[in-house]
Amino acid sequence: MENINFGIDLGTTNSGIGKFYQGKVNIFKNPVGFRDTLPSVVAYRNSRILVGDKARELISVQPENVFSSFKRKMGSEHIYAVPAINENKTAINFSELVLRELINFVGDDKPTAAVITIPASFDTIQSNATKTAGYNAGLQEIVLLQEPIAACLAYANLQNIPINEDKTWLVYDFGGGTFDVALVNINNRELKVMDHEGNNFLGGLDIDNLMVEHILCPVLESELGISDLWKQIVGTEDSPYKKLFFELLYRAEEAKKELSIKESAFVELDIDSKFIELEITRQRFNELIHPKVIETITLTNRLLQKNSISKHQIERIILVGGTTYIPYVKTTLQKEFATIVDSSIDPTTAIIVGASYYAGTKTRQLSTSITDEKEVQTMLNDVKLAYEVNSQDDDELLVALVPNEFSGYYRITRSDGGFDTGLITFHSRFTEFLKLIPKNSNFFNVKIFDKYQNLVYEKENLVINHGIYNITGQPLPNDICLEIDDSLGTTYLEKIFRKNDILPLSKKLYKTISKPILKDSGEKLIINIVEGRAETSPASNLCIGYLEIKSEMLSANLLKGTDIEIDFEISESRDLTVNVFIGAIDLEITEVFNASAKQVSPSKIQHELENSLINVDEELLSSHHQEYSPTIDQLNDVRLEIIDLLRELIEIEGDLVTDRIYNIDERKRKVFQIYDDLVRRKHLLAEIDNYQTSKMEVKESLLLKPNPRIEGLFNKVIKNEAQFLNSNQLSLIKSKTKELDKISNEIYYQEDESYINLFYFYAYRELNEYADEKLARNFINGGEKAIAEANYKELRGIINGLYSLLKEKPKNYFDDKDGTLGLK
């Protein structure tokens, strides 16, 4: 058995690679400058590709051929034009180059498998994009690990902090491009991420931009007599000031770093042979970055609130990411949280270290040479071995049970030869303390012999990791849902997996088809899987799997109500596999979904913001009279944030250079979520009301006319009432209400007389609503006759005829079999 061992931090600004070996992590040095990390920058010069520091240096010479911060656009549609080679590239292409360069640091023993870290907030598309980059770089096997977990693994393994009881840690990762904060539960064996918050577009780079916009540009404007310099800089892709912009960004960043150790920093600029010098004080700097720091504190508080964790329950805050070098960040955190703010491990390499520890416990799946843990001999059945895979002790107890009063010998050896029990007799069971090599993966071989010393059972490569903290698993960052169409035309989301479920996951769902699909009719059945929040509308979520079953694929017609079985699977590294099985026509389709791209459009965001502003205003107007409405203050906060975002959208109009649009998009999603949470309770209560009304209706009808069959149906629907009414899931309660309404319908149409009402519903329509007026007239006359003769069978046929003649069908009638899977 072989472990992955290599860990890679593929960062927005800096990346690095390490290897776990005999209980320790070795970080491979960047030969340039002998540093631990490689700037995530790629440049093209003539036919040469430069990566890292050399690429970075080119920025002031040929900025149009230098690319950085592309991780922020991982999984997006963004295309980078590279003039030097006259080609287009994507964030995946650039990431591949960074990974190749990192792999080069390693020397001869190059990795073919690695753990690569991703921000906890990366969705499926971004995760898949990361893996694609890794495969393109030549890795055959990739395991993704969320960065906050990597950070905790580094701290837990490196710092001998005694952890005897459950503790909650907060990982505060403020890097170059992203901010991530995670709540981690840690006990003496395992780490588990409870929840996380973050913003993919908030980092050190934003601070550099702020410094250029608000400190450097105003000085240059007055010194050089240019107006609106910032606007001109960000205004066009090929601004005459582009070179200057990168120069300024570079100078700002240098000054920022200096301010982490000094009270003030000087920026010297030599522009158009004019020498400009300015001083930035820490005070001024702190004021400038204050809103950004507050943004991180707000996200952190939200995370605590959401999880009902109070500040003093946090045992320590772990600082990760280069931006946490800024003293103001640290002091603000200290003031705000009054707990240990731990920065004892280099915040720029902690992720590499953690990733490598994890890689040291992860077995390779595509292992070629060495056999996996396995039972070799099976002459003895049902041998049970019990032991802990991860241990903090010097030796770990192994318990073996052999059935059927077996008597014989056992022998246990450790693969390095340092431990050997020799042959020991036993009867039925044995226990043995296995000596462990500290801070390492220990491989044991267990053999059982019969009385005549013939080998009857063997287990190879039984692994016990010593002193290495492990994680229970990685949580899903968002809900994964299936889009459902009900026959009334509303679409909603049904949860397949919930946020913070531990990967890997699998689930089987049974659905029925909502409309018939005839063979070769050109129609199709759509299965749409989205990532986001189950309580929200499908449109505000991210599509991660889209499957079409076209009529050409059918061997026979698909009737409405046909059962369809769908299996969903998400691997630890976020591959989504969907298997669809339609038993009626023996059709089975399996698809694995990989990276694609998502879109961010300013006009779409504007539209969404404006719409939501209308909703918030309506809510504000009505909130005085309604119970459970959000408070005016809460709504006003939401309103202000929406207006602020709209204002920023206008401000960045024509900004093709910075990433602010992505920050806005992210903040937009956050504020919509808050709003959703505020009004959800109200909608939930309204839906519970609907449910109760529908329930009363059925109950009354049953009292008037008892019917055991219908009563059975009714009891089935209300069976787990307490559970689903408290589920917080609007769609679930809605579906129950609909089932009750269906029962009501059924009761109603059990009475022949009910068809008289239905008939008049059609008879009183305008004749021109029917496709064939003459035929409709005949039907109506026939219907009146049938009523006079009390011939209800005839009447039902006539109603069917009228229904089929209607040009526009009314909803909800003949809603007999309620399908759930949509037809578009």
Query: Which residue in 9, 135, 92, 128 sits closest to 570, CA to CA?
Result: 128
Question: Minimum distance between the CB of residue 95 and ligand ADP, rounded to whole angstroms?
Answer: 12
Q: How many CB atoms lie within 10 A of CB 622?
A: 11
Residue 177 or 822: the one with the smaller Cβ distance to ligand ADP is: 177
477, 121 contact by CB (below 8 A)? yes
To which residue do tokens 């969320």 refer? 146
Compute the distance between CA of residue 276 and CA of residue 269 in angstroms, rounded to an integer: 5
Tell me, what amino acid is at 766?
E
Among 7, 52, 148, 203, binds ligand ADP (CB under 6 A): 203
Q: Which two tokens stand for residue 4?
A: 């992955």
H-state helical runs in 346-408: 350-361
Our CB check for ligand ADP shows the closer of 303 and 326 to be 326
Tell me whether residue 368 is exposed, middle or buried, using C-beta atoms within 10 angstroms of its C-beta: 0 to 12, 13 to 18, 19 or more. Answer: exposed
650 Cβ contact list (under 8 Å, min separation 6):
none
Which of 118, 108, 18, 38 lies closest to 357 in space, CA to CA?
18
Residues 364-393 that bind ligand ADP (CB under 6 A): none
Burial call 773-788: b when 16+ CB within 10 Å, e when fewer: eeebeebbebbeebbe
Q: CB under 5 to 8 A by kind: which of Mg ion, ligand ADP, none does 177 bind?
A: ligand ADP
DSSP 546-581: EEEEEGGG-SSPBPTT-EEEEEEEE-TT--EEEEEE
> Which of 253, 460, 479, 523 forms a contact with ligand ADP (CB under 6 A)?
253
Identify whether the C-beta of residue 94 lies closer than 8 Å to the C-beta of residue 42: yes
Q: Is 321 in the site for ligand ADP (CB under 6 A)?
A: yes
CB of residue 322 to ligand ADP, shortest distance in Å? 2
Q: How far is CA 355 from CA 149, 163, 207, 361, 818, in A?
A: 9, 21, 27, 10, 49
Among 167, 257, 435, 670, binds ligand ADP (CB under 6 A): 257
Task: Looking at residues 153 to 192 of the shown chain, list those that interact with Mg ion (rule: CB under 5 A).
Answer: 175
Residue 348 binds to ligand ADP (criterion: CB under 6 A): yes
Nearer to Mg ion, 175 or 467 (CB): 175
The least distance separating ligand ADP from the CB of residue 237, rounded to whole angstroms, comes to 23
Min separation Cβ 37 and ligand ADP, Å: 6
Partner from Mg ion, ligand ADP, none contacting 477, C-beta within 5 to 8 A by type? none
Nearer to ligand ADP, 265 or 740 (CB): 265
Q: Which does 323 bind (CB under 5 to 8 A by kind): ligand ADP, Mg ion, none?
A: ligand ADP
Give the separation between CA 139 and CA 114, rounded to whole angstroms.
7
Cα→Cα distances 529→544, 545, 554, 566, 663, Å:
6, 5, 22, 11, 25
Among 456, 462, 314, smallest CA distance to 396 is for 462
Residue with tokens 């700097």: 285
x/- contact string, 169-188, with ligand ADP (CB under 6 A)?
------xxx-----------
CA angle 647, 648, 654 (to 5 degrees): 110
Q: How far is the CB of 259 from ligand ADP (least distance, A)?
A: 7
Tell the smallest beta-carbon distance from residue 74 to ligand ADP (Å): 12
Residue facing Mg ion at closest CB distance: 175
- Mind giving me the DSSP string for 601-643? -HHHHHHHHHHHHHHHHHHHHHTTT-TTPPPHHHHHHHHHHHH
Q: Which stretch binds ligand ADP (CB under 6 A): 6-14, 132-140, 194-202, 749-757?
A: 6-14
Q: Nearest distance from residue 71's CB to Mg ion, in Å? A: 9
Minimal distance in Å, beta carbon 630 to ligand ADP?
A: 36
CB 148 within 8 A of CB 121: no
CB-wise, 203 or 783, nearer to ligand ADP?
203
The one of ligand ADP, Mg ion, none whose footprint includes residue 18, by CB under 5 to 8 A per kind, is none
Tell me the one-letter amino acid at 750.
Q
> Would you count residue 14 as binding ligand ADP (CB under 6 A)?
yes
The entry of Mg ion, ligand ADP, none near residue 256 (CB within 5 to 8 angstroms by kind) is ligand ADP
Q: Are 216 and 251 in contact (CB under 8 A)?
A: yes
Q: Is 277 helix (H, G, I), strand (E, B) or coil?
A: strand
Which lies closer to ligand ADP via its Cβ, residue 18 or residue 204? 204
Which range binds ligand ADP by CB under 6 A, 211-219, 252-260, 424-432, 625-633? 252-260
Q: Which of 134, 198, 322, 360 binds ligand ADP (CB under 6 A)?
A: 322
Question: Rounded to whole angstroms, how far apart are CA atoms 248 and 238?
Answer: 16
How near is the Cβ of 39 to ligand ADP at its closest, in Å? 9
Of the residues 7, 11, 75, 177, which one makes contact with Mg ion according to CB under 5 A = 11
Residue 520 is classified by DSSP as T
Q: Count the site residues for ligand ADP by CB under 6 A.
A: 20
Least CB distance to ligand ADP at residue 556 (A) = 55
204 binding Mg ion? (CB under 5 A): no
> Which listed option, ligand ADP, Mg ion, none, makes contact with residue 364 (CB within 5 to 8 Å by class)?
none
Q: How many residues of this chain bind Mg ion (CB under 5 A)?
A: 2
| CB neighbours of residue 75 within 10 Å | 24
Minimum CB–partner distance for residue 180 and ligand ADP (Å)? 9
Q: Does 354 bind Mg ion (CB under 5 A)?
A: no
Which window, 253-261, 488-496, 511-519, 694-702, contacts ligand ADP (CB under 6 A)? 253-261
CB of 581 to Mg ion, least distance (A): 42
198 is an interface residue for Mg ion by CB under 5 A:
no
**Distance between CA 369 and CA 755 in Å, rounded?**
75
> What is the smallest separation between the CB atom of 681 and Mg ion, expressed in angstroms?
37
Closest CB to ligand ADP among residues 73, 256: 256
Beta bridge pairs of residue 378: 457
Site for Mg ion, rule CB under 5 A: 11, 175
Site for ligand ADP, rule CB under 6 A: 11-14, 175-177, 203-205, 253, 256-257, 260, 321-323, 325-326, 348
